[in-house]
């Protein structure tokens, strides 16, 4: 009886498990599951490339799915059981929205996809040549640096979306500093795209060369004396205010080659061909096996040039000072106005005032007694006195005609009236008149001029 009960229990459990398995696999309600990280593929990229377009933000996109199905069907689903894609055919340039298409097993339903659309930037596809630059893992000891470098290629063509290609500053190849030797050695280094900040560019861009071949040697560096000749003159409307000439330059090469180098000579610098402030590169002939050190590759002469400004002032004849005249005489200019033209650098001339330039005539070598009353005075040169650093000062006319006359005698006092009689008067001597060649009214002007000259003296 006991054995019969045990057998019945075993049979009952087996039937229950069978019924449970049947219900789970065939009669259970539908269940859902989230499948994550399904990669999105771009379809018809070739169609875009055919019209010189590409996707700028071509990065690794993925979608997440919520699917529904029987427990047995969805329990083992993974991202590999699905595919997601967007169709790029027929798209135009600019920001575009694309539907994400998903395919999966037929026995499950896709309830939701996140995201359901992708916003992509379709833009011009360009190819631009970027320079190759060599960088090193460590700095070099003092007076040692790499030299005699050759590489292939010297530039690499980068192809891709215009905005991404524009973000590439150069192509970097990194060499191990410790691997360089005193003779040229070859290296093969990977090409890496770098932006303006020196950071790697992470973008799906195509390079025409993945590697660069470099030949380089480790050189010694020393300083050599340098001779530079300056020839010619600046144009008439310009002035050279400063020239900085390097007295030496740094060169590099093997120890043997550097030991044979004496004074270096640069090609002459012709100032007449320079019209603006500039750094004029020096052309230095170097012996075989020697080349400029890195900090002397752009050695130059710094020439500062300033434009010449011109001003003109006019002075009346009575503003021309007469200096050095013998005592007892006065002089006056019989000509009209004079014009003074001055020129110099802009910083000097722009603040120059009329009173900063003083015209005068020097009569210290003239003896009025020798001339006599009938001998005219020869035209005298006009001189200019100024303290500013002018480049040129000219006066027109260059010579002036003057008259020299004795000062009038002091006026005599009228005698006092005698007691009981009329006062007596004496006719004063007639006043001396100006020479015949003086212009009308010149006498009054001359007196003013003479007084001015004496005051100025």
Residue 354 has pLDDT above 50, yes or no: yes
- 124-220 belongs to which CATH class? mainly beta
- Rounded Cα distance, 306 and 294, in Å: 32
CATH code that applies to domain 316-410+434-456: 2.170.120.30
Lowest mean pLDDT among 88-102, 178-192, 269-283, 402-416: 402-416
At 441, the pLDDT band (50, 70, 90 cuts) reads: very low
- Rounded Cα distance, 371 and 406, in Å: 12
Retrieve residue 293's tokens.
């050190």
Q: Which helix (H) or strand (E) holds 456?
A: helix 442-456
**351 closest CA partner among 389, 383, 298:** 389
Q: What ranges do the domains of the chain cover? A: 2-115, 124-220, 228-306, 316-410+434-456
Chain segment 128-140, per-residue pLDDT in tens: 999 999 999 999 9
Could you tell me if 359 and 312 are in contact, meaning their C-beta atoms sit under 8 angstroms apart?
A: no
- 228-306 belongs to which CATH class? mainly beta
- The partner residues of 77 in beta bridges, in order of sequence, read none
pLDDT for position 373: 58
CATH code that applies to domain 2-115: 2.170.120.30
Chain segment 380-419, per-residue pLDDT in tens: 999 999 998 888 899 999 999 888 888 887 765 555 544 4
Q: pTM to 2 decimals?
A: 0.56
Q: Which helix (H) or strand (E) holds 20?
A: helix 2-22
Instruction: Give the sheet arrangement for strand 321-323, strand by strand.
Output: 321-323, 358-362, 383-385
């Amino acid at each position: 009886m006991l054995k019969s009960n045990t057998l019945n229990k075993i049979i009952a459990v087996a039937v229950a498990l069978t019924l449970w398995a049947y219900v789970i696999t065939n009669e259970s309600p539908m269940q859902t599951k989230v499948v994550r990280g399904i990669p999105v593929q771009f379809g018809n990229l070739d169609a875009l490339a055919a019209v010189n377009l590409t996707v700028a933000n071509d990065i690794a996109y993925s979608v997440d799915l919520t699917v529904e199905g029987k427990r047995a069907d969805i329990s083992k689903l993974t991202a590999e059981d699905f595919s997601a894609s967007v169709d790029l055919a027929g798209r135009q340039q600019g920001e575009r929205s694309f539907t994400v298409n998903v395919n999966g097993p037929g026995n499950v339903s896709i309830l939701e996809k996140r995201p359901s659309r992708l916003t992509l930037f379709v833009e011009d596809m360009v190819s631009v040549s970027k320079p190759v630059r060599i960088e090193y893992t460590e700095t070099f000891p003092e007076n040692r640096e790499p030299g005699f470098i050759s590489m292939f290629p010297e530039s690499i063509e980068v192809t891709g979306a215009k905005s991404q290609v524009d973000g590439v500053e150069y192509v970097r190849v990194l060499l191990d500093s410790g691997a360089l030797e005193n003779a040229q050695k070859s290296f093969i280094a990977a090409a890496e795209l770098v932006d303006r900040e020196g950071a790697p560019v992470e973008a799906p861009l195509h390079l025409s060369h993945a590697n660069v071949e470099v030949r380089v040697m480790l050189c010694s560096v020393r300083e050599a004396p340098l001779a530079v000749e300056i020839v010619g003159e600046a144009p008439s409307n310009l002035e050279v205010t400063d020239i900085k000439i390097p007295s030496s330059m740094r060169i590099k090469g093997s120890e043997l080659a550097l030991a044979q180098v004496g004074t270096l000579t640069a090609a002459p610098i012709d100032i007449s061909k320079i019209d603006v402030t500039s750094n004029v590169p020096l052309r230095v002939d170097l012996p075989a096996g020697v080349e400029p050190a890195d900090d002397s590759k752009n050695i130059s002469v710094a020439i500062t040039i300033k434009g010449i400004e011109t001003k003109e002032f006019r002075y009346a004849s009575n503003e021309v000072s007469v200096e050095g005249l013998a005592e007892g005489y006065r002089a006056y200019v019989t000509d009209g106005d004079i014009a003074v033209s001055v020129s110099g650098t802009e910083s000097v001339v722009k603040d120059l005032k009329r009173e900063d330039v003083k015209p005068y005539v020097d009569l210290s070598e003239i003896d009025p007694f020798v001339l006599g009353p009938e001998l005219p005075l020869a035209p005298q040169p006009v001189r200019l006195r100024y303290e500013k650093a002018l480049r040129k000062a000219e006066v027109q006319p260059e010579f002036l005609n003057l008259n020299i006359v004795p000062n009038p005698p002091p006026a005599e006092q009228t005698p006092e009236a005698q007691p009981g009689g009329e006062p007596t008067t004496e006719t004063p001597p007639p006043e001396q008149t100006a020479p015949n060649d003086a212009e009308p009214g010149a006498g009054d002007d001359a007196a003013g001029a003479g007084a001015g000259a004496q005051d100025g003296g």
